[in-house]
Chain A
Amino acid sequence: MNAEPGFEDAQRELEEIVQRLESGQASLDEAIALWERGEELYRLCAAKLDSAQGRIDELARRVEAVKP
């Protein structure tokens, strides 16, 4: 893997992988490679969502603090 993809790109790639696997046309080797890549993309996406949620929570706390 070279440059880390953004969330949307990663998700799109993950979706493509799943569709490819679902079609049943992938060879076993390819399926495993796709699966490994899919898991990697999943971790990436989940991490990005965790990070986004953390920032949102942080921001909400700050807004609450400012409120009278």
Chain B
Amino acid sequence: MKVAPIEYGDRKVYTVSGFNRGIADWLTRLPTIWVEGELTDLRRQDRWQSVFFTLKDPADGSCLGVQMPRGQFDSLRLDLTNGERVHVYGRPELFEARGEFRLRALSVERFGLGDHLAALERLKRKLAAEGLFAAERKRPLPRFPRRIGLVTGNDAAAKRDVITSITARFPPARLLVAETYVQGPRAAPAIIAALRELCDAPEVDVIVLARGGGSFEDLLPFSDERLVRAVATCPLPVVSAVGHEQDSPLTDLAADVRASTPTAAARLVVPDLAELLERLARSRAALAGGTRRTLEREQRALAQTHERLRRAPLLLVERRRAALEQTAGRLRALSPRATLERGYAIVRSEGVILRDTEGLSGGDQVDVELGQGGFGARVEETR
């Protein structure tokens, strides 16, 4: 296809579209070839026609964008992950609308583990053997941190997400943000410096290390041995909120807790104020209710005791009186008076009760006691 230029005098000028079409057309003359590299930044979605990834040269980091029809990619069933070394069969192509050069892939073959991944795997095993990731190293996070240290990129969406999530959950939260590089060769030392800075700052009780998702390369600093060690030995508890769920930088393993999202990080470092207040209100209501019930119980008990107090003395007197009357009844039943009431009499001589006539003679004075009253008498004769 021939692309015609516009002519301004003796100058031939091509439109962007025309230029792109010309280049694209020319590229089709190149042969279909094999390219070797590390697969990174793999983007695949069911509703997309194509799968996208970047091939990276492990030697110098040169990158090549690759597009492949999703059906072909899926039919290979390679289950590729970022960092794996692959051979891609395809031809160069220009995406005309954007002037973007890329490799249109027809096939992909796995070619061993990527260097980075292998190196990372070795580092991971080494640090694990040292016990850097051991569960017993993990420290609990403070329930109410006085200040929260946040290490993040200076314009990172991750920063905004974490701050928003934390303050939404716990509005009085105080944050100290250390902005730093979060990708590239300077990132690891910069993050280590930021961690130290936050540890030295007053009142910081916990540190959140936040970075949004990115390509495998982008997240590499978070698997840098120096940074991983710094996180593991950080004097303050560290929450690692790096990348997405499927990413697993080594800082995630070295941190005290791993958070898959900024919201998850917020849940870990601050309590939910609304929930806290609600629980407090519930406790308070329960306290008031419990106290009232206790009070009512005590009041009832006191009223009962009071009632018993009121009744007790009378009861006591009545019991005593009943006992006394019973005793008195017995006393009266036994008393000689009862005998006298039946018509008997007691005769005394000089105060001594007479049982026989011995020593008694006519003319003696005696006293006679009857049931009611008595009288003096003189003895006529003894028999």
| Nearest CB of B to A51, in Å | 10
- 8 Å CB contact of A18 from B327, B346, B352, B353: B327
Judge whether A60 and B310 touch: CB under 8 Å.
yes
**B313 contacts chain A at the CB level, 8 A cutoff:** yes
Give the residues in chain B near A7, CB-CB below 8 Å. 320
**B334 contacts chain A at the CB level, 8 A cutoff:** yes
Judge whether B317 and A56 touch: CB under 8 Å.
yes
Bound CA–CA A31/B352 (angstroms): 13
**B110 contacts chain A at the CB level, 8 A cutoff:** no
Judge whether A17 and B317 touch: CB under 8 Å.
no
**B229 contacts chain A at the CB level, 8 A cutoff:** no
- 8 Å CB contact of A56 from B313, B324, B346: B313
- 8 Å CB contact of B331 from A14, A53, A56, A60: A14
Judge whether B334 and A53 touch: CB under 8 Å.
no
**A39 contacts chain B at the CB level, 8 A cutoff:** yes
| Nearest CB of B to A18, in Å | 5
Give the residues in chain A near B331, CB-CB below 8 Å. 14, 17-18, 21, 35, 38-39, 42
**B321 contacts chain A at the CB level, 8 A cutoff:** yes
Bound CA–CA A27/B321 (angstroms): 29
Closest A residue to B351 by CB, please name it. A29
| A49 and B320 in contact, given A17-B331, A18-B331, A22-B330 (Cβ under 8 angstroms) | yes
Contact with A along B242-258 (1 / 0, CB 8 A): 00000000000000000
| A28 and B334 in contact, given A46-B324, A49-B321 (Cβ under 8 angstroms) | no
| Nearest CB of A to B261, in Å | 65
Bound CA–CA A39/B332 (angstroms): 9
Number of interface residues of A (CB under 8 A): 24
**B44 contacts chain A at the CB level, 8 A cutoff:** no
**B374 contacts chain A at the CB level, 8 A cutoff:** no
Closest A residue to B316 by CB, please name it. A52
Bound CA–CA A56/B312 (angstroms): 10
User: Which secondary structure characterizes the binding site on chain A?
Assistant: helix
User: Which secondary structure characterizes the binding site on chain B?
Assistant: helix
| Nearest CB of B to A44, in Å | 10
Judge whether B324 and A35 touch: CB under 8 Å.
no
**B267 contacts chain A at the CB level, 8 A cutoff:** no
**B335 contacts chain A at the CB level, 8 A cutoff:** yes
Give the residues in chain A near B317, CB-CB below 8 Å. 49, 52-53, 56
Bound CA–CA A22/B334 (angstroms): 7
| Nearest CB of A to B158, in Å | 70
Judge whether B324 and A28 touch: CB under 8 Å.
no
Closest B residue to A32 by CB, please name it. B336
Bound CA–CA A22/B335 (angstroms): 10
| A18 and B334 in contact, given A53-B314, A56-B314 (Cβ under 8 angstroms) | yes
Contact with B along A31-48 (1 / 0, CB 8 A): 110010011001001100
| A42 and B324 in contact, given A18-B330, A35-B335, A35-B336 (Cβ under 8 angstroms) | yes
**B337 contacts chain A at the CB level, 8 A cutoff:** yes
Bound CA–CA A32/B346 (angstroms): 11
Judge whether B313 and A52 touch: CB under 8 Å.
yes
**B323 contacts chain A at the CB level, 8 A cutoff:** yes
Chain A residues at the B interface, C-beta cutoff of 8 Å = 7, 11, 14-15, 17-18, 21-22, 28-29, 31-32, 35, 38-39, 42, 45-46, 49, 52-53, 56, 60, 63
- Going nearest first, the 8 A-B pairs with the smallest beta carbon separation are A21-B334, A35-B335, A38-B331, A56-B313, A42-B328, A18-B330, A45-B324, A53-B317
**23 A/B residue pairs, CB under 8 Å, sorted by A:** A14-B324, A14-B328, A14-B331, A21-B331, A21-B335, A28-B336, A28-B346, A29-B353, A31-B336, A35-B334, A35-B335, A35-B336, A39-B331, A42-B331, A46-B321, A46-B324, A49-B324, A52-B317, A53-B314, A53-B317, A56-B313, A56-B317, A63-B310
Additional pairs, 15, CB under 8 Å, beyond known A14-B328, A45-B320: A11-B320, A14-B331, A18-B327, A29-B353, A31-B335, A31-B336, A35-B334, A35-B336, A39-B331, A42-B324, A42-B327, A42-B328, A46-B324, A49-B321, A60-B310
